[in-house]
Amino acid sequence: MPEVKLFSCTASKTLAADIAYHFDAPLSDTTLARFSDGEMQTIINESVRGAYTFLFKAPVSPTIT
C-alpha cells in the first residue's frame, strides 16, 4: 500500500492532527507563505510522489470586492 501524506493549513491543524492520529501517521512538513494582498500559499516541503496525499483546509466564504 502506498504511503499516506497528510498536510494541513493553519485553520485546520486540530482536525488534521486528529485524522493523523487515526491514520497512525505524522502530519507532513509544510510552510505557509502570506502575500501582501492577503492571499496564502501552502508550500509542501517533501516529496509526495507515489503517496496518497491529503490537504486539510477549512472552508472559507469568498470575499466580494
Domain span including residue 40: 4-56
- The answer to whether the CB of 41 falls within 8 A of the CB of 52 is no
Q: How far is CA 29 from CA 2, 21, 44, 47, in A?
A: 18, 16, 6, 10
User: Does some domain include residue 46?
Assistant: yes
User: Does some domain include residue 39?
Assistant: yes
User: Does some domain include residue 51?
Assistant: yes
Please give the model's pTM, rounded to 2 decimal places.
Answer: 0.74
Q: Is 27 left (phi over 0), alpha (psi -120 to 50) or beta?
A: beta
Domain count for the chain: 1
Confidence at residue 36, expressed as pLDDT on a 0 to 100 scale: 92
User: Does some domain include residue 62?
Assistant: no
Cell match 486528529: residue? 18
Distance CA 65, CA 53 (A): 33
C-alpha cell at 5: 501524506
Q: What is the pLDDT of residues 7-37, one digit of tens each?
A: 988 778 888 899 999 988 899 999 989 899 9
